[in-house]
Structure formats: structure tokens, C-alpha cells
Amino acid sequence: MSRRIAVPVEAYQGKITDLTRECLIAARLLAGDQDEVVAYMFGEIPAEGNSVLQLADRIITFEDGQVGQPVALAQAKLLCSKLDRAELDLVLVGSSSWGLDLGPLMAAYWGVPLVANCQWLERRENSLWATCRICAGKLMVDVEVEARPAVVLLLPGSFLRKEVAPRSRQPVIERETVAAEEWDSRVRFQRWIEPQREDVDITQAEILVAVGRGIERQENLELAEELAEVLGGVVCGSRPVVDQGWLPPTRQVGKSGMIVKPKLYLALGISGAPEHVEGMKDADLIVAINRDEQAPIFHVADYGIAADLFDVVPALKEALIARRQET
């Protein structure tokens, strides 16, 4: 029997997100040739970058009224009323700020299983097997889901580079109407608030010197600034450093901060929690300095130094200056 895999599409800043792309790839791999992948688009399909929707068999758009606004409550209610549970196998949502509202709400409205923090998903016979990654990435749980439908919140990374055979047919696009009373307006989107931009955009920097909790005190930032200067780079930080107010939010690298792809990411005293790693793992070269040889950052870094940054950073600065003077 053909089953349906639903992928609610997230568009952010006018583009379909990478995480939605991963969900579509995962859906396609799970669906194979027998099952149907249906993408649900709130608002119009964005003009740019929509080729990823080719992975779906059908695209259903909801374009009336405020349906395109990022209100997970109303969108979850809408999907729950419009989707036919009987044929539904799975709802695959990205574990983004929006998805973290949408997915659990849907699962609870229907009373069906939610699988959050899902790093990997596969079918084995009649069951769905998911691997969840929890406790700041330190613990894994394999679960077997029998009940259907299930709602899965997918973490980024696992499906991004998976190969999927191109579809032979274009997806069918259907527009569904949404009557005013079908839209739960108890939560309403008002506006986007941009942070106050200072002069540095860390997403454009080629060299980033990142500081984490290991920098210990605000005054030690100076050390990082000096090194950044010698390297011709910019200082940024992980969440704890920004939460303390030692760096502005625009310098935060991570899940809810900035995603950066510099040539060099030098991580000083950063442990490597998944939310941070999400923001920098695509840097060309990652070098980490951390006293703790067990720190998870060393699984992401290309080169690592398990030593006290307060010893290594000054030595590095000296070595760079010496090199500069030689050439």
C-alpha cells in the first residue's frame, strides 16, 4: 500500500531552508518508488532556489490570507485538519526554531508519536528506526517506531550530502484554499526584529578567532583580539560568551546565531556543543585549542592542540609575528 510522507516546507528570508532540503532528501530515500512525498508550502513557492521541491511527488500550497506568515500554531492546526491520517506514514520537519514548535504541536493534536532530536532515520521491515542524539550530543538512543503516523524532528547534517536519483516527473502542484475560520489567529506574527548591526559581519570574514567559556574572563578577550589582529581576522564567540555580554549577539556563532564558513576557524576554549558546531562545521580549516583532550570540538576540528590556550595563544602570536618579519 502506498504511504504518504509529508514534509512541511520552511522558507526563511525568502528561501527554502537547507534543513527542509534535508527533510525532502530523507523523505525521498525513505519513500523510494512506492511511497508518495508531499511537500506543504505555506505561502507562495519562492522564486529562487525552489528546485529542491522537485524531490516531492506533490506540492500543496496554502496561499490565502496570512497563511505564509511564520505562525507554527496555526500552521500545525491547519495541517492536522487538512491531512488524512489514514494514509500518512510520517511527517518530517526540520529541527529549526519553527519546526520545534510545529512538529510537537502536530504530534500532540493527533496523539501520535513525536521523535525529536533525530539524527538518522531508516526503515527496517515494517518499522521505522530512528537514532536520536541528546544530552548536548553526548548520548544516542535508537528507537523503533511502530505506530503511524509519526512526527519526526530532523537534526541537520545527516542527509545533506546523500545522493538521490533525480525524479523523472515534475511534482504536481495543487493549491488548497484556507478559509478564515480554519486559521487559528490566537498567535500572530507582528514583525522581524534585526539585531543592531555593528561594522563587522562575521559571516563575511575569512579568518575567525572564536572564544568560548575557556576564555574564562572578559578581559582575556584581549588575547583573542590581538591574535585576530595578527592573523587579519575577526573575533567571534559561542553562546555563553555572548550571553554574558562579552560580545554582541551579531558575533555569536551557532544554531541561533550566525552560520559561518570562513577559511580558518580557530576555536579557543570552545567545548564543541552541537548547537555551536552547527554554526561553523563547514569552515575550510578548523583548528581547536582546548585543555580538555576529550572535548567534542576535537571530533570536528582538522587540527587540535590539547593545551592551555593562555600558553598557546601568546606563543602563536609570537610565531606569526616572527614569520611576518622574515618575509
Partner 1 sequence: MEYTPRRIIAEAWSGTLERVIRSPSIWMCVGCYTCSLRCPRQIDLTDTVWPAMRDYALQEGIQPPSELRTAFQNLYLYGNVFGHSPRKRLEWTRGLEVTVRDLSKSPEPVEVLWLVGCYPSYHPRNQVVAREMARILTALGIRWGILGKEERALGDCDRLFGEEGLFEMLVESNRRLFERFQFEKIVLLDPHAFRALEKFYPRFGAVFPAEHYTTFLASRLEQLRPWLVKRINARVTYHDNCCVGRRCRCFDAPRKLLTAIPGIELVEMERNREHALCCGGGGGGMWLDAFITQHGGRRLSDVRVQHALKTGAEILAVSCPFELSRFEDAVKVAGAEDRLRVRDILELLAESMGLSEGGGP
Partner 2 sequence: MNVLVTVRLVPDLVEPLVVSPQEDNLDWEETSLVLNESDDHALEEALLLKEKHRARITVTAFDFGEIDQVLYMAAAKGVDRIIKISWPHREPPNSLEIVETLARLVPALGIDLVLMGCQSPTEFLGMAAPQLAATLGWSYVGVVRGVEGSGRSEAWRAFKEYPGAILAEMEVRLPAVVGILTASQPPRYVPVSRIRAAAQQVQFETIEGPDELKEPPAAIRRVYLTPVTAHATMLRGSEEEVARQLVEILLEKGILK
288 is an interface residue for partner 2 by CB under 8 A: yes
Give dist(CA 264, CA 262) in Å, integer: 5
121 is an interface residue for partner 2 by CB under 8 A: no
Residues 6+ apart with CB under 8 A from 73: 101, 105, 184, 186, 187
Based on CB atoms, which residue is closest to partner 1, 82 or 213? Answer: 213
Beta bridge partners, 236, equal 210
Q: Which of 81, 122, 162, 285 binds partner 2 (CB under 8 A)?
A: 285
Sign of CA dihedral 298, 302, 306, 311: negative
Residue 130 interface partner, choices partner 1, partner 2, none, CB cut-off 5-8 Å depending on type: partner 2
SS3 of residue 117 by DSSP: strand
Based on CB atoms, which residue is closest to partner 1, 103 or 240? Answer: 240
CB 42 within 8 A of CB 76: no
Based on CB atoms, which residue is closest to partner 2, 178 or 288? Answer: 288
Residue 316 interface partner, choices partner 1, partner 2, none, CB cut-off 5-8 Å depending on type: partner 2
SS3 of residue 91 by DSSP: strand
Task: List interacting residues with partner 1 (CB under 8 A).
Answer: 217-219, 244-245, 291, 307-308, 310-311, 314
The residue with cell 523523505 is: 27
Residue 291 interface partner, choices partner 2, partner 1, none, CB cut-off 5-8 Å depending on type: partner 1
Phi, psi of 142 (to 5 degrees): -95, 125
CB 133 within 8 A of CB 139: yes
Counted residue by residue, the chain has a size of 327
Residue 217 interface partner, choices partner 1, partner 2, none, CB cut-off 5-8 Å depending on type: partner 1
Beta bridge partners, 92, equal 152
Residue 114 interface partner, choices partner 2, partner 1, none, CB cut-off 5-8 Å depending on type: partner 2
* Local structure of residue 65 (DSSP, 8 states): T
187 is an interface residue for partner 2 by CB under 8 A: yes
Q: Which of 44, 85, 122, 138 binds partner 2 (CB under 8 A)?
A: 138
| Least spacing, CB of residue 8 vs partner 1, in Å | 40
| Least spacing, CB of residue 33 vs partner 2, in Å | 26
| Least spacing, CB of residue 60 vs partner 2, in Å | 22
Q: Which of 194, 198, 199, 219 binds partner 2 (CB under 8 A)?
A: 194
Based on CB atoms, which residue is closest to partner 1, 3 or 291? Answer: 291
Based on CB atoms, which residue is closest to partner 1, 17 or 271? Answer: 271
| Least spacing, CB of residue 109 vs partner 2, in Å | 5
Residue 219 interface partner, choices partner 1, partner 2, none, CB cut-off 5-8 Å depending on type: partner 1
CB 276 within 8 A of CB 270: yes
60 is an interface residue for partner 2 by CB under 8 A: no
- Nearest in space to 68 (alpha carbons), one of 142, 7, 129, 14: 14
For helices 309-326 and 221-231, what crossing angle results, to 10°? 20
100 is an interface residue for partner 2 by CB under 8 A: yes
| Least spacing, CB of residue 244 vs partner 1, in Å | 6
CB 207 within 8 A of CB 280: no
Give dist(CA 86, CA 114) in Å, integer: 17
Amino acid letter, residue 33? D
